[in-house]
Structure 1
Amino acid sequence: MDGNGTTPIHPPARRHARRRRGLTATAAGLAVALGLGLSSLPRGEAAASQDPANAATSQDAAGTSVSGDGTARAATEPRGPEQSGFPSAFGYSLLHPTAVPAGANDWSCRLGPEHPNPVVLVHGTFENRYANWAGLSPRLKEAGYCVYALNYGAAELAPLKATGDIPASAGQLAAFVDEVRAATGAAEVDLVGHSQGGLMPRYYIERLGGAAEVDKLIALTPTNHGTTLQGMGLMARAIPGADELLGTSCTACEQQIVGSGFLRDLNSDGGVDPGVDYTVITTVHDQVVTPYASSYLPPAGNVTNHTVQKYCLTNDSDHVDISYDPLAARLVLNALDPARSSRPAC
């Protein structure tokens, strides 16, 4: 039984082989991209991006001045095209690290009675707002939402973001939410996050006053209880000095390994606020958050845990591409607007 009370689904060996090939390709691509990103990042910028003291400065998460109504950022943000999958979106973002996904960051957007909360999209580790949301953002905009997306956890021109200290990144999210609320007049926002983008907002909600500003948190394959990284995380804990080495190159990575001090502290009181509605959307094919059920939050009246294979046994979305999966997108839309929900199509 998994953490959601359902029997885990074991796909055929043929699908396992395909997933191993996909994982190898993804890992190779990320390794190359990481080398490109780090080699192009000035030392001073890299150091500054990891400093928690910078989280509450007068600059936003993308490094541009905060105007209070988004006009300063809107004038400098390049717009990227809509994408149908993560690989093409990720490749585009390597060349355009500050790109905004289609449909996002229209600072003149006006809220309507059907969708009174703006939606803020929060990307994951080694990703960015464009790579993660170039598919879902335009779909949400088309559905009538005011959509906003930030970059965080790294220097402005680093294509691979969300590597910095998670509490500092939560401070950047808090500042961005304040700006969105000021621009739209909304009392609360809804957050949609992927991977670390589903975990980090919980720190903002629990520790930085976000509970008063967030109505819903919808998390795609979040690292809520950490990951073993297919056992590599546990191995790192067994090797003297390995933890420190991982934390030096990627603080957020160390903080997301199962059993980390950050996770123990965040989850010590249950990890959810009674005034926020939480939705978790996972896949049994998650090759990054392992085991996949560690994404789930403890059962509660304001917590809903989904696995996409519950609705479609043959769905083969994995950790990276779930934010481009139509079934997962339907679950996001259902969570944002339960009154107009519909069963996802397989």
Structure 2
Amino acid sequence: MRSAIRCLTLAFLLAALAIPSAAADQPDPSYSYFGGLAAELTAPGQAPPGANDWSCKPTAAHPNPVVLLHGLANDTLSWNTLSPVLTNAGYCVFTTTYGVGALGPMMGALTPIAQSAAQISDFIDRVRTATGSGKVDLVGHSMGGAVPFYMLNHLGGIPKIDRYVALAAPLHGSTVSGLATLQPLLESTPVGAQLTAQCGPCELSPGARDSVDLNANAAIAPDIRFTTVVTRYDEISTPWTTGLLDGPNVDNVVLQDLCPTDYTEHNELTADPVAVRVVLNALDSEHAEPVSCTVVLPFAGPIR
């Protein structure tokens, strides 16, 4: 935990060097959480670059459209990096902001898991119809990597998915660096109980009164190839091992095992160049490329 705090501090100290100003022109993609944040501030609610071309038809090289699912954020913020990378690689890419609650479209994944999962299932069906594809590949960050397991277990989602990539997903619940211990206290009040009852992430908190067992078990879908990507510096999906799965159809990737100088935490993960390469390799394992190691700072991304 102390290492993570030191890394966060260093990131904010160097952020000004990494991105001179929020208004400055940046290469697309930026490989920085701040790039997604700038996109959300300048064009809130817009699909990330390359996403949601409903006329896109998958090719023989990439026959499955890719559906990107955000965590406690939205698609604009989360996929500012990965969406254009995948589009440039020849994929049909689709995103949506699901689970919108009281905060509106600026933050999704807030509604109860069953509700979010139903919205995701409907969106996948829309993508399959538009592209003429029988299956899609999923890439989900945080709640976006966890909620689809509800769809697999309860909404008939297994036949619709080919590859499933989960980035820092609280597959087995999360302590949120200890903050989850406060949830029983919150639930002991009438207002708090009402709030948590409508809060999807709260359903994955240990000891939650209204908990949901996602049954995050790769064995339920032996024909799906699962890839998990986690960082030891995660401060949200904790312990970081909550993002791992077991089974012969699973590839577990710990970023620091590939690159010891990758200090990315939870939020930077979707823009981390090391993680991006892992995702590309997971989606097209027959043409996997070596993962290059560099220094990656929390939030700010790689040092150039």
Pairwise TM-score range, normalised by the shorter structure: 0.7 to 0.9
Correspondence 1:201-212 to 2 at 5 A: 201-212=148-159
Structure with the greater relative contact order (CA < 8 A, sep ≥ 6): 1 or 2?
A: 2
The structure 1 segments of at least 4 consecutive aligned residues displaced by more than 6 Å after TM superposition are 22-25, 268-271
Aligned counterpart for 1:112 among listed residues 40, 59, 80: 59
Are residues 1:85 and 2:32 paired? yes
Pick closer, same or farther for the CA change 1:268–1:319 going to 2, 3 Å. closer
Q: How many residues align?
A: 277
Mapped to 2, the partners of 1:246 and 1:142 lie a distance apart of 46
How high is the sequence identity, in percent, across the aligned residues?
A: 35
Instruction: Check whether the contact 1:94–1:159 (CA below 8 A) recurs between aligned residues.
Output: no
Correspondence 1:266-277 to 2 at 5 A: 266-267=214-215, 272-277=220-225
Aligned counterpart for 1:19 among listed residues 7, 28, 35: 7
Instruction: Check whether the contact 2:146–2:214 (CA below 8 A) recurs between aligned residues.
Output: no
Correspondence 1:197-346 to 2 at 5 A: 197-237=144-184, 241=188, 245=192, 248=195, 251-260=199-208, 265-267=213-215, 272-297=220-245, 299-346=246-293
Instruction: Check whether the contact 1:104–1:141 (CA below 8 A) recurs between aligned residues.
Output: yes
Are residues 1:99 and 2:87 paired? no
What is the CA deviation profile of residues 261-280 of structure 1, one whole-angstrom value per residue up to 9, with x for unaligned ones?
77653228777422211111
Q: Normalized against structure 1, the TM-score is what?
A: 0.73
Mapped to 2, the partners of 1:256 and 1:23 lie a distance apart of 29
What is the CA deviation profile of residues 167-203 of structure 1, one whole-angstrom value per residue up to 9, with x for unaligned ones?
1111111111111111110000000000000001111
Mapped to 2, the partners of 1:159 and 1:301 lie a distance apart of 38
Tell me, which stretches of 5 or more residues in structure 2 are unaligned? 14-27, 294-304
Pick closer, same or farther for the CA change 1:262–1:238 going to 2, 3 Å. closer
Match of 1:141 in 2: 87
Instruction: Check whether the contact 1:152–1:162 (CA below 8 A) recurs between aligned residues.
Output: yes
Mapped to 2, the partners of 1:261 and 1:269 lie a distance apart of 23
Give the aligned residue type for 1:86: Y
Give the aligned residue type for 2:80: A
Deviation at 1:243, TM superposition (A): 10
Deviation at 1:88, TM superposition (A): 3.5
Tell me, which stretches of 5 or more residues in structure 1 are unaligned? 1-12, 26-80
Mapped to 1, the partners of 2:124 and 2:271 lie a distance apart of 24
Mapped to 2, the partners of 1:135 and 1:292 lie a distance apart of 23
Give the aligned residue type for 2:98: Y
Mapped to 2, the partners of 1:339 and 1:243 lie a distance apart of 54
